[in-house]
A and B are shown apart, each in its own frame.
Chain A
Amino acid sequence: MKAMKRSLLALTIGGLLAATAAQAQISDNVIKIGVLSDMSSLYTDLAGAGSVAAARMAVEDSGIEKRGYKVEYVSADHQNKPDVGSAIARQWYDTDKVDVIVDVPNSGVALAVNQITKDKNKVFLANGPASSDLTGKACTPNTVHWTYDTWMLANGTGSAIVKSGGDTWFFITADYAFGHALERDTAAVVTKNGGKVLGAVKVPLNTQDFSSFLLQAQASKAKIVGLANAGGDTTNSIKQAAEFGIVKGGQNLAGLLVFLTDVHALGLQNAQGLIITNTFYWDANDQTRAFAKRFAERDKGIHPTMVHAGVYASVLHYLKAVEALKSDEGAKVVAKMKEMPTDDPLFGKGTIRADGRKIHPAYLVEVKKPSESKGPWDYYKVRATIPADQAFRPLKDGECPLVK
């Protein structure tokens, strides 16, 4: 009796082991997606709940669940704090069995998540952050940097504006790492293209009142006032620039990092004439329009920003890679993603380079005047398209250790 029980036990254990071994490729049999975003503060509208919706849409559109794979989601608010974001990422990887982290609109948090993802051999699809270091000094085999970065912004907006006549600049810069980097990169581009930087002023983060800095910008008589800041700082400076008649006085504002939702918050009255670089606009073609309509239904009528689009496209491509590989193991999936060319309704055809940088074209857009807009969210007119091979920093210039 005892012997039979023991062998029955052994058989059961053996059977279970065999079963789990067969399914061991997809960890825990579930593809678990973690959307780590800013759910409550200055980036909520451009990412936030919309990113969660975009991720879900991507999973649905890929049809992967119908082919027998299980997908689960978690989401959390990193509050733009590296300590909060890294703690969530750590816990997600350690105890919650998350396989891939998506979004993370904040470079500081992204750099932290980037490191932890490498340490634990998972995947990080960075759609939200700006820092070009993610495909530079801090590049890892586990991260794909989608959507945009500071180099692209500086090069896109900077060179396009200088070439179209805006050759003297004055910078209003958020006084922290991201702002400094953006100013430095854009200034380099301006001078390289024959323009001149007439001056710059560093402004503490989360400043409410830009009047004195705008005054300095006016006094400099620069043709372009470059806003090397983001979020609330950008919308504040734009609003107050309108008040002080900067644009009416003949100068133009260059928003170096502005999203569709920022324009919506400002209203066309304040934002008209702003020149910005984005990699996605919902009104570009029928496919993007269809996506926007479905997206708006899920996200309180908000139309997708390039970050939302990036979440959708990156998750779609990730799932393709996982299915092709039949595994969700960290660096291997990313390698597969780099191997497979991308093709989605939002960014079109593109590739992912060895340093993790996703390559696609960028658009230089100008914000319409109120009279030119046919309704809410109809905000941009496309001034120029920057081809994909010119939009991002050349591979050799990035100092990425993966690229030799």
Chain B
Amino acid sequence: MQALFGQLLIGLINGAFYAMLSLGLAVIFGLLNIINFTHGAQYMMGAFFAWFMLTKLGVGYWWSLLLAPIVVGAFGMLIERTMLARLYKLDHLYGLLLTFGLALIIQGVFRNEFGSSGLPYQIPPVLTGGMNLGFMFLPIYRGWVIVASLIVCLSTWYVIERTKLGSYLRAATENRALVQAFGINVPRMITLTFGFGVGLAALAGVMAAPIYQVNPLMGADLIIVVFAVVVIGGMGSIMGAILTGFGLGVVEGLTKYFYPEASNTVIFVIMVIVLMIKPAGLFGRER
């Protein structure tokens, strides 16, 4: 029983990453109808940024938490302005193909530069060590991940669902011309939102750097799982992405305990089931 609680807690920690990453994706897809396949690569860029900051410039974790989202987010906005914006008139699948190609480029360049073995990044000193919770030994850093992720996710949800800025954004995706007629610069808002979503991915990357190896492919296989999370939660729903992210982390943790061989596939099985029964996702609205 104790072991089970340990696994559930681990699952919650993983879920925190899924939630943060799927949040970024959900923001981008839900609000902008853009499928961002580069999300995994941008997560990786965030981690590399943190590594670079620490190893080459001696700048620590906390600064990276702040700067990585801004820098990588800016990069994302550049992509949106120069390339994605041209595809809005076309079928959305073109956006998927473009971002897929960009992901290949980014990952290929990083792999050429840094190889694939992974680079070390130490846990920030103030967060090292752990607490003995009785049923398991919880590294403090992992506990921090849960807390930070919850804060980030809930604040994002609040901004988008409960503030005026969020309502403008949601309105713009429903009826762009009307909102523009009200004097709001819609293209700029879209670019900034895209940048924000990308920034979330980078933030997740910085948080992942101390516990997963910083390597160019860290986002590649993760991205498909995150897509599954977003689809299950509902492509347009912010709260759906958050709840599903945490929930699926827990489900995965349980599977790892009872039947580890299936831990990779369980998310996809759930995704197919959900798509069959409720294609808009558990919390989504049919568009």
Interface residues of A (CB under 8 A from B): 40-42, 44-45, 175, 201-204, 206, 208-209, 211-213, 215-216, 218-219, 231-232, 235-236, 239-240, 243-245, 249, 261-262, 265-267, 269-270
Nearest neighbor of B138 in chain A, beta-carbon distance: A244
Q: B3 touching A219 by the CB < 8 A rule?
A: yes
Residues of A with C-beta under 8 A to B6: 212, 215, 219
Q: B11 touching A212 by the CB < 8 A rule?
A: yes
Residues of A with C-beta under 8 A to B3: 215-216, 219
A202-B261 contact, Cβ under 8 Å, with A236-B212, A243-B211: yes
Q: B222 touching A215 by the CB < 8 A rule?
A: no
Tell which of A44, A201, A216, A249 touches B115, judged by Cβ atoms closer than 8 Å: A44
Interface residues of B (CB under 8 A from A): 2-3, 6-7, 10-11, 13-14, 111-112, 115-120, 122-123, 130, 136-137, 139, 141-142, 211-213, 215, 218, 221-222, 253, 256-257, 260-261, 263-264
A203-B260 contact, Cβ under 8 Å, with A232-B117, A265-B117: yes
Query: In the complex, A219 Cα to B166 Cα: how many Å?
Result: 47
Q: A243 touching B257 by the CB < 8 A rule?
A: no
Nearest neighbor of B17 in chain A, beta-carbon distance: A209
Residues of B with C-beta under 8 A to A239: 120, 211, 213
Nearest neighbor of B119 in chain A, beta-carbon distance: A265
Residues of A with C-beta under 8 A to B222: 208
Closest chain-B Cβ to A276's Cβ sits at a distance in Å of 16
Query: In the complex, A245 Cα to B130 Cα: how many Å?
Result: 8
Residues of A with C-beta under 8 A to B111: 40-41
For this complex, 21 residue pairs linking A to B, each with C-beta atoms less than 8 Å apart, are A41-B111, A41-B115, A44-B117, A45-B117, A204-B260, A209-B10, A211-B10, A211-B13, A211-B14, A216-B3, A218-B137, A232-B117, A232-B215, A239-B211, A243-B130, A243-B139, A243-B141, A244-B137, A262-B117, A267-B122, A270-B120
Closest chain-A Cβ to B133's Cβ sits at a distance in Å of 12
Query: In the complex, A215 Cα to B264 Cα: how many Å?
Result: 18
Most buried by B among A219, A243, A262, A269: A243
Residues of A with C-beta under 8 A to B2: 219
A212-B253 contact, Cβ under 8 Å, with A235-B117, A243-B123: yes
Closest chain-B Cβ to A233's Cβ sits at a distance in Å of 10
Closest chain-A Cβ to B172's Cβ sits at a distance in Å of 36
Q: A208 touching B10 by the CB < 8 A rule?
A: no
Query: In the complex, A391 Cα to B13 Cα: how many Å?
Result: 43
Query: In the complex, A203 Cα to B256 Cα: how many Å?
Result: 9
Residues of A with C-beta under 8 A to B264: 204
